[in-house]
Amino acid sequence: MRIVAAVDKFRGTADAAAVAAAIGHAAWERDLDCDEVVMSDGGEGMLEVFGGANRTSIVTGPDGRRIEAGWRLDRRTAVIEMARAAGLTLAGGADHNDPMAATTAGVGELIAAAIGAGARRVIIGLGGSATTDGGHGAIEALGGTARLHGVELLIACDVTTPFRDAAAVFGPQKGASPAQVRMLTSRLDALAVDYRDRFGVDVTALPGAGAAGGLAGGLAAIGGRIVPGFDLVADEVDLAGRIEDSIAVITGEGHLDAPSFNGKVVGGVTALAADANIPVGVVCGVADDDVAERLPMRSLVADHGHDAAMERTLWCIERSAGSLIDELLAR
């Protein structure tokens, strides 16, 4: 008798591995085995799905300073989180970020390091970026397309934002003023023309090209392929097969809202469980009212209060997951 705990991080309180372990303990208390599956939709935390960093490189951070960034190499596959080289956290958050100058150069340097170390398949997780440079910094750091010959470049993201909309949609989260958003949009428009002329790729026609401030489009222009992050991760960990061999599935994330069901972990896990006719429920920190009834759910804030949910997150997850397991198995 085995359940699957396939979860994303609870941002700011618990990483995905800790969340899965807390659910696993709740299952153990009920004499159930638990397959703990760390999941990601391609954003921050994706590196941990593949086992975490086992390499580091000194690269250019989003503000131009040199930083140490972790990445992973396993045989011929490299895994990179762009946030490790160009993340908003590295820039000191939106209040300290310079949205006009923030660069993805470090991402290009990590890709170059991976290829130099023998990688022939490079997976890049997008999310948490400080940048809206359309990937220009990364392309310049790579020196164009020559070193990408024979390399499969997979760009994992969870949005379908068009290239030129990257500034308007994400710029304010990165500290951009309305005037800066307009300037950044003009810059993206000019880059789209440049990429079409230089590489023969119309990034404005690619769904998701606006991810990470247009980094997705820039990398696609030099031969990368934009793929849904959840699908890529689910395939890598054989999530469908693991769900089929279970009696129930628990998924989860910090904030459950409508976008949780569109390209993100909760929606992807729920769909796979439904395909396999396996009962599924979600544990979350807090849930918006319009999604609270979509599937069996336990909210830490509703079950234990805000303070406990923030200060004793894993204890709350274990208790709420236990109640949810009981409910699913009673159906």
Give residue 45's pLDDT.
Answer: 83
222 and 242 assigned to the same domain: no
Give residue 92's pLDDT.
Answer: 95
190 and 120 assigned to the same domain: yes
Structural domain ending residue among the three candidates 199, 230, 261: 230
Q: Name the pTM for this structure.
A: 0.90
Cβ-count burial of 12 within 10 angstroms (0-12 exposed, 13-18 middle, 19+ buried)?
exposed
pLDDT band at residue 21 under the 50/70/90 scheme: very high
80 and 225 assigned to the same domain: yes
10 and 110 assigned to the same domain: no
CA atoms within 13 A on the CB side of 323: 14
Give residue 262's pLDDT.
Answer: 87
**Secondary structure (DSSP) of 23-55:** HHHHHHTTT-EEEEEE--SSSTTHHHHTT---E
82-118: pLDDT as tens digits: 999 999 999 999 999 999 999 999 999 999 999 999 9
Give residue 28's pLDDT.
Answer: 97
Domain that holds residue 19: 2-39+238-330
225-235: pLDDT as tens digits: 999 999 999 99
Give residue 263's pLDDT.
Answer: 84
188-198: pLDDT as tens digits: 999 999 999 99
* Cβ contact 70:82 at 8 Å: no
Mean pLDDT of 141-151: 91
CA atoms within 13 A on the CB side of 262: 7
Q: Which residues contact 39 (CB under 8 A, 6 or more apart)?
A: 6, 7, 8, 16, 49, 230, 233, 234, 237, 239, 251, 265, 268, 269
248: domain CATH number is: 3.40.50.10350
Is residue 32 predicted with pLDDT exceeding 90?
Answer: yes
Give residue 309's pLDDT.
Answer: 95
95: domain CATH number is: 3.90.1510.10
pLDDT band at residue 179 under the 50/70/90 scheme: very high
132 and 208 assigned to the same domain: yes
Strand partners, 6: 37, 251
262 and 136 assigned to the same domain: no
156 and 288 assigned to the same domain: no
17 and 144 assigned to the same domain: no
Structural domain ending residue among the three candidates 196, 230, 264: 230
Mean pLDDT of 246-250: 97
Give residue 91's pLDDT.
Answer: 96
Strand 55-60: give its sheet, edge to edge.
55-60, 66-74, 77-81, 121-125, 152-157, 225-228
Structural domain ending residue among the three candidates 201, 230, 259: 230
Displacement of CA 170 from its chain's centroid (Å): 15
Is residue 44 predicted with pLDDT exceeding 90?
Answer: no
Give residue 247's pLDDT.
Answer: 96
94 and 116 assigned to the same domain: yes
151 and 107 assigned to the same domain: yes
Instruction: Spell out the alpha helix ranges (H) of 90-159.
Output: 105-116, 136-142
* Cβ contact 138:85 at 8 Å: no
| Three-state SS at 115 | helix
**Secondary structure (DSSP) of 153-205:** EEEEES----GGGHHHHHGGGGT--HHHHHHHHHHHHHHHHHHHHHHS--GGG
Average pLDDT over all residues of the chain: 95
pLDDT band at residue 12 under the 50/70/90 scheme: confident
Q: What count of other Cβ atoms lies within 10 Å of the Cβ of residue 121?
A: 15
122 and 263 assigned to the same domain: no
**Secondary structure (DSSP) of 54-97:** -EEEEEE-TTS-EEEEEEEEETTEEEEETHHHHBTTTTTSTTT-
Four-CA torsion 219, 220, 223, 226, nearest 10 degrees? 110
Give residue 316's pLDDT.
Answer: 97
* The total number of structural domains that make up the chain: 2
215 and 104 assigned to the same domain: yes
Is residue 6 predicted with pLDDT exceeding 90?
Answer: yes
